[in-house]
Amino acid sequence: MRTTRAPMIRLLLLLLLVAAACCFSSGSVAATDSIGLAESIIGNQTLVSAGGIFELGFFSPPGGRTYLGIRYAGIADRTVVWVANRNDPLVSTPGALRLAPDGRLLILDRQNSTVWSSPAPTRRITAGAVARLGDDGNFLLSSDGSGSPQSVAWQSFDYPTDTLLPGMKLGVDFKRRLTRNLTSWNTPTDPSPGQYTFKLVPGGLPEFFLFQGPKKIYASGPFNGAGLTGVPNLMSKDFIFKVVNSADETYYSYAITNPQLRSRFLMDGTAGVVQRYVWTNGQWSSFWYYPTDPCDTYGKCGAFGYCDTTQAPLCACLPGFQPRSTEQWNLRDGTGGCVRTTNLSCGAADGFWPVSRMKLPEATNATVHADMTLDQCRQACLADCSCRAYSAANVSGGINRGCVIWGVDLMDMRQYPAVVQDVFIRLAQSEVDALIAAARRQRPNRKLLIAGVAAASGVLLLGAILGCCCFWRKKRHAKTAPSSHSDVLPLRHRKHPAASPARNQRLEENRMGSEKDLDLPFFDLEAILTATDDFDPDSKIGQGGFGSVYMGKLEDGQEVAVKRLSKKSVQGVGEFKNEVKLIAKLQHRNLVKLLGCCIDDDERMLVYEFMPNNSLDTFIFGQFVFFAETTSNFLCWDYMCNVLTTVDIFLPQMKKSASH
């Protein structure tokens, strides 16, 4: 019976082994984020980061080859972001990942042969060593299992493939002799190295280049302490971009300020561009990419030429230079570049012409002097016959620091709308003098400029006056329809059923006291209600800061204008009386006469004589007539100015009278 079971058991084990050879997409059978010494993951087993963001395991794209990789786990598109054995795919599966006793990570095939291994660890491995996949996508070997920076013996972040994740570095670690580049996949289904590489080229000022094989096809522009001069739009509220340039290392990195945002920076081998993606609405969306336009092409306009997308043709020569080949230039091929119009004297007789809105020329072969001032830089350039240009090496914070000198032809420049920094191009002094003279000829005449500015200011001022006049005219003559939101106080009729003899007596005493205090006739509310037909909306003739104005007719037939205090006013009885006293003193033949007032509980009203021909503002803020001979009901411009001048003279007299 036992002899019968043994083959069955071996068959079951074989079936399990075959099942383990399934591709990466078949799911995880290991719910852990790490492996220890002598531990392994086999076949379709995976490591999943603690937050479930990334997973590590074997995957098999079309083609029959198997790779160990890291990919997103928590999204529908489980994009691969790192591949361990892109040069050494597994052919004999299932494969296994093992942490060897010496601290190296090994990929083994079905025959237990080593297909790939990580470099020797940089720290002494202890029994507690652990390789753990983090939520940042980094597969990190900790020599003692603590995960501290001091215990890092190896990490996948030091060996990027085609993707840069937040926190990864792109550049060179000179101290550790470690180079971190991005290299595209060969095809969308083949993770082996493709033809495109994005990397830092050390020397001079830091600059990143996109290569197609050995050919440069794009450059980020030198780093000037404030940014990469060829990437002016490298800003976003969701990202923090950083370029570090020190004696130990030079690199580019980025971080995400929004923890919910997922982003990756990809060397796209299909499009031949470096591209940033963000995950939004269930898919990867392009955030930006480079190169973006023809002027981003490396060396588009050759030596001493620059590219400008706002002009046609795109290429132009720097000041003091002319096309090397007019024939090629006319065919819109600027790759031949430009040559000097006048040769240098190679001495102090040469001069410099600044350009400021340019992407800095390629500076990998330039010489940087960190302790020089710009004046010292100028003198050093004049003393060197090979010097073509100079500039500040660092302009962070708007302060020029150090010096960079170009002793080679100026390549890969383009013009931007905004100022980048000053680059001083070395020219023969005669060329500098000619450029200065041309600039002076283009400078507008100062007297004409002042006259033009004055004229324009006058027109703008006149327009502002006209606009204000129209605005105030509309405001003064706006009429509001009655509603529950009216700005007048609710009426309290003296004959209201709720009124009492005691209340009527109190109001009468207040009326007599007010009339004595103000030395002004006091109108009864009932008389005003009768005169205005209970403040009929049809009787409303105006609206002002005080409140609404109604036309009325008293019992003796006199027409009056009644100003009724707005309910928005917080003016008390005492304040109202003081204002009435002041207005009563301002009696003049050119002012509307105040006939009296009314105070009844919350009601405050002023009663004026009625002017049938409207008020002065009707004429001032009405239609403007600029010709005196025009027949119109409105004042002509000259007459209106005269009225305004007279009012200006009269106002101080009114104030003086009021003060007495």
- 380 located within any domain: yes
Contact by Cβ (8 Å): 389, 344: no
> Which of 174, 250, 255 is closest to 205 using CA atoms?
250
In this prediction, residue 150 carries a pLDDT of 93
Q: Mean pLDDT, to the nearest integer, of 181-204?
A: 95
Do residues 116 and 106 touch, judged by C-beta distance below 8 A?
Answer: yes
Residue 118 token pair: 């990580």
Name which of 185-194, 457-466, 550-559 the model is least confident about.
457-466
Q: Identify each DSSP E strand in 3-49 by its residue range.
A: 34-36, 40-42, 47-48
Q: Are residues 256 and 335 in the same domain?
A: no
* Predicted confidence band of residue 645 (pLDDT cuts 50, 70, 90): low
Mean pLDDT value of segment 332-361: 91
Give CA–CA dist 19/10, Å, rounded: 14
Pairing state of beta strands 114-117 and 130-133? unpaired
Q: Are residues 305 and 436 in the same domain?
A: yes
Tell me which range, 94-98, 327-331, 585-589, 594-598, is most confidently predicted by mean pLDDT.
94-98
Q: Does 15 fall in a domain?
A: no
Q: Which of 11-15, 73-77, 173-177, 283-287 has the lowest mean pLDDT?
A: 11-15
pLDDT band at 644 (very low <50, low <70, confident <90, very high): low
Total structural domains within the chain:
5
Both 415 and 505 in a single domain?
Answer: no
Tell me, yes or no, whether 635 lies in a domain. no
* Residue span of the structural domain in which 466 resides: 445-477
- Least confidently predicted of 106-110, 367-371, 648-652: 648-652
> pLDDT tens digit string along 450-498?
555 555 555 556 655 655 555 555 555 444 444 433 444 344 333 443 4
Instruction: Check pLDDT > 70 for residue 31.
Output: no
Q: Measuring CA to CA, how many Å separate 554 from each of 491, 529, 531, 539, 601?
A: 19, 10, 5, 14, 22
Span 75-104, average pLDDT? 93
pLDDT band at 597 (very low <50, low <70, confident <90, very high): confident
CATH number at residue 36: 2.90.10.10
What's the rounded mean pLDDT across residues 520-535?
86
Give the model confidence (pLDDT) of 369-398 as tens digits.
Answer: 999 999 999 999 999 999 999 999 999 888
**pLDDT at site 538:** 84
User: 473 with 577, same domain?
Assistant: no
The mean pLDDT of the chain is 81
Please tell me the predicted confidence (pLDDT) of residue 223. 93
Percent of the chain with pLDDT over 90: 52
Average the pLDDT over each of 188-202, 340-354, 433-447, 568-582 and give the range with the smallest value: 568-582
- Residue 487: the pLDDT is 40
- Tell me which of 313-327, 527-541, 587-601 is least confident: 587-601
For residues 359 and 5, which has the higher predicted lDDT (pLDDT)?
A: 359
Strands (E), 145-238: 152-155, 163-164, 170-173, 178-180, 182-187, 190-200, 208-212, 215-219
* Residue 645 is assigned to a structural domain of this protein: no
In a domain, 634, yes or no: no
305 shares its domain with 431: yes
**Would you state the pLDDT for residue 456?**
57
199 assigned ligand-binding residue: no
* Between residues 461 and 24, the one the model is more confident about: 461
**Residues 254, 173 within the same domain:** yes
Residues 317 and 420 in one domain: yes
> Once rounded to an integer, what is the mean pLDDT over residues 217-227?
93
Position 556 scores a pLDDT of 83
* pLDDT of the residue at 630: 34
pLDDT band at 399 (very low <50, low <70, confident <90, very high): confident
What does the pLDDT average to over 159-183? 96
Q: Beta partners for 89?
A: none
Show which of 292, 322, 353 is a domain's final residue.
292
Say what the pLDDT of residue 354 is: 93
* Same domain, residue pair 101 and 214: no
Q: Specify if 365 maps to a domain.
A: yes
Average pLDDT over residues 633-643: 52
Which pLDDT band, with edges at 50, 70 and 90, does 575 fall under? Answer: confident
Residue from 631, 634, 654, 632 nearest 643 by CA: 634
Residue 496: both structure tokens together: 């209201």
Q: Is cis: bond before 94, omega within 30 of 0?
A: yes
Give pLDDT, residue 274.
96
Whether 56 is in a domain gets the answer yes
CA angle 6, 9, 15 (to 5 degrees): 145
Are 165 and 269 members of one domain?
yes
Higher per-residue confidence, 518 vs 300:
300
Tens-digit pLDDT profile for residues 130-148 = 999 999 999 999 999 999 9
Query: For residue 398, what pLDDT is reported?
Result: 84
pLDDT of residue 614: 64
Q: What is the pTM of this model?
A: 0.64
pLDDT given for residue 510 in this prediction: 53
38 in the same domain as 84 = yes
Q: Which of 219, 215, 212 is nearest to 194 (CA)?
A: 212
Question: At which of 292, 318, 338 does a domain end?
Answer: 292
pLDDT tens per residue across span 417-430: 888 899 999 999 99
Kindly state the average pLDDT of the residues 617-642. 46
Mean pLDDT is highest, among 300-304, 559-563, 599-603, for 300-304
pLDDT above 70 coverage of the chain, percent: 74
> Looking at the structure, do residues 528 and 549 belong to the same domain, yes or no?
yes
Boundary-marking domain end, from 106, 130, 157? 157
CA 644 to chain centre: 48
Q: Is residue 227 part of a domain?
A: yes
79-88, 285-294, 547-556 — which one is most confidently predicted on average? 79-88
